[in-house]
Structure 1
Amino acid sequence: MPVPYRTSFNGKLDRLSSLIDRLRVQVSNALVGETGRESANFTIIENQSGDLRLVFCPLREEVECEFADREPGNGETALVAANIRISGIGKQLINALPQCIAIPLAEDANLTAVVAPLIEEATQPRCGGQAAFQRLCEVVVIRLLRHAMEQGKADTGLLNGLAHPRIAAALVAIHEAPGENWTLEKLAETAGMSRTQFAVTFKDRVGITPMGYLSGWRLDIARAELEAGRQVKSVATLCGFASPAAFSRAFSRRFGYPPKQGRGQAA
């Protein structure tokens, strides 16, 4: 049976939703002028002409950030400053982004449409404002990912692979159906490429072999499912392993402890 790939509203392949579903976005405000703003990794900055610039440094906690445009310059004001923490399997999307990105909002009308109510919630607090701010930040993260993918902001990694229409088809197939009996030949066929062309292009764009990526994705999903309390046997089946024993060996090699122990820790 063909894998039922998710499509967007226009009927085209949806390259992001299966990953975004597995993202966890946590937002804490760092209000302008208050202690803690220096820890913000997300800012919206306005210059004297009223032009807005969005700056997001997703990996700031893990990498020392010296990005020049991160802080307001002369005559500029930070209208919004917040700390956005992203976890979950889908975080590999974030890891594929540059260390810091700065986008003049005049260049992207879709981002501007979300940023306007975000600024309103931050500068004119009302009942439910924290919840609204959280939800809007989640939408901003999604649109940033879309912007980065469409504008070629990543040189290698997952976003770079998703930006390639044929490689994207194979990646979405893996994301949507990790339990499928995938082989290099099947994935190449899904991408509409020869076996050799697909393998070379995938490694060049994503930075890892197709089967290596598939294995890593399956095991990441497996760990998340175990932490949610799912049975080892059902997780092995869900993630496409031939047997619970094969799953246990692969899981232990990757994470350094057996699946049962991971499930016990979650419980």
Structure 2
Amino acid sequence: MDRLAALLQHFHLRARIFNSGPLCEASRYDSTDGIGHIHLLKKGSLRLQVDGAPDRLVAEPSLIFFLQPTGHSLVPGTEGAETLCGNFSFGSARNPLSRALSGPILLELAQLDGLSRTLELLFDEALIDRCGRQAAMDRLCELLIIQLFRHLMDSDEIDVGLLAGLADPRLARALIALHDQPQAPWTLAQMASEAGMSRARFAAAFRETLGQTPGDYLTQWRISLAQSLLLEGRPTDWVAQAVGYSGPPALAKVFRQTLGLSPTQWLKNSD
């Protein structure tokens, strides 16, 4: 049961390492739609300043992860900070993975045994300027993010958001079914049956964990998937059928309710 397969198939992870080495001065990272950030502190210390939150001192080798666009700054400590920083996206600002965590993640590298080999390779690539260095670092960063998702789902460290839902064996069965079969005529009873729960218990657990109703999540998933397919050049009538709507008029109605635009208008604005 691959909990990430459909998400990563439809929303393509792209990462880019843009800084490696000493952090010589305070660095600011603004909030940009669809762009997350990942920072690795290899040595030294720094102060993490997140907009609207108290400062945090990071004094051990650590991973700092912003899945959602969040304004923040890194300020090196008196002894300096050796860092590796990157940004990433999933191809669409509205993709479900961008809302999978409710806030930033700060983890010491010593806690991340399952990521240690990738971290070692990433640090080694950053050390020497060799052929293909940038591409190698970028691909390793993408692998690191996928492994981080696995770690967060398997470690019970999060209790709200899509990854928390995928960490729950019952909710995960329903979510995987929705992701794999968006075209199916889903009802609350059918979703609850996939989870092996009563309708009332399923609806309550889903809303408590993901912060929205199953029906709202299904609509968002279908619209996000439709956007991805439209960007691939698929015709509107094919997209409508693929994501569970009877035809272009039905898809356009939900698009307008959700985004305030028809699929054609949205596609034109995304160019």
Q: TM-score, normalised by structure 2?
A: 0.81
Work out which of the residue numbers 254, 265, 268 in structure 2 matches 1:261: 265
* Superposition map of 1:114-129 within 5 A: 114-129=118-133
Equivalent in the alignment of 1:63: 70
Map residues 89-168 of structure 1 onto 2, 5 A cutoff. Answer: 91-168=95-172
The residue aligned with 2:15 is 26
Identify if the C-alpha distance between structure 1 residues 45 and 26 changes in structure 2 by more than 3 Å, giving closer, same or farther.
closer
Give the 3-state SS of the residue equivalent to 2:142 in structure 1: helix
Alignment check: 8 A CA contact 1:160 1:205 kept: yes
1:86-124 deviations in whole A, cap 9, x for unaligned? 233584324332533222222222111100010011111
Quote how far apart the aligned CAs of 1:239 are.
0.5
Q: Decide whether the 8 Å contact of 2:222 with 2:244 is kept in 1.
A: yes
Q: 1:173 aligns with which of 169, 177, 185?
A: 177
- Kindly state the Cα deviation for residue 203 of structure 1 after the two structures are TM-superposed: 0.8
Paired residue secondary structure (2:106): strand
Unaligned runs of 5+ residues in structure 1 are 1-12
Between 231-240 and 86-95, report the one with greater CA deviation: 86-95
Q: Structure 2 regions of 5+ residues with no counterpart? A: 30-36, 45-59
Q: 1:64 to 1:260 in 2, by over 3 A?
A: closer
Cα gap change, 1:104 to 1:232, in 2 (>3 Å): same
Query: Structure 1 residues 42, 250: CA separation in 2 closer, same or farther (over 3 Å shift)?
Result: closer
- Structure 1 stretches (4+) deviating beyond 6 angstroms? 34-37
Distance 2:127 2:229 in 1: 39
2:42 maps to 1:46: yes
Equivalent of 1:229, from 228, 233, 244?
A: 233
Q: Distance in 2 between matches of 1:265 and 1:100?
A: 30
Q: How far off its partner does 1:145 sit? A: 1.4
Q: In the aligned structure 1, how far is the partner of 2:6 from the partner of 2:26?
A: 33
Question: Cα gap change, 1:85/1:199 in structure 2, threshold over 3 Å: closer, same or farther?
Answer: same
* Higher strand content, 1 or 2: 2
Aligned equivalents of 2:25 and 2:247: distance in 1? 50
CA distance in 2, matches of 1:181, 1:43: 42
- What CA deviation, in whole Å up to 9, does each residue of 1:32-55 have, x standing for no partner? 34789824643322347xx73222
- Contact map agreement 1:229 1:263 (CA 8 A) in 2: no
Asked if 2 retains the 8 angstrom alpha-carbon contact of 1:228 and 1:266, the reply is: no
Give the secondary-structure state (helix, strand or coil) at the position aligned to 1:162.
Answer: helix
One-letter amino acid of the structure 1 residue matched with residue 200 of structure 2: T
Over aligned residue pairs, what C-alpha RMSD do you find?
Answer: 2.5
Name the CA distance, whole Å, in 2 between partners of 1:47 and 1:260: 50
Q: Name the CA shift for 1:156/1:35 in 2 (closer, same or farther; >3 Å).
A: same
- CA, structure 1 residues 112+55, in 2 after alignment: closer, same or farther (shift >3 Å)? same
Counterpart of 1:3 in structure 2 is none
In the alignment, the residues of structure 2 paired with residue 234 and residue 263 of structure 1 have an alpha-carbon distance, to the nearest angstrom, of 15
Aligned mates of 1:248, 1:142 — CA distance in 2: 33
Distance 2:24 2:80 in 1: 19
Distance 1:28 1:44 in 2: 11
Shift of 1:263: 4.1
Whether 1:15 and 2:33 are equivalent positions in the alignment is no
The alpha-carbon deviation at position 184 of structure 1 amounts to 0.8
The aligned counterpart of 1:193 is 197
Matched positions, count: 247
Identity %: 33
1:130-174 deviations in whole A, cap 9, x for unaligned?
110010000111111122222233331111111110001101111
CA distance in 2, matches of 1:34, 1:194: 53
Q: Does 1:86 align with 2:93?
A: no
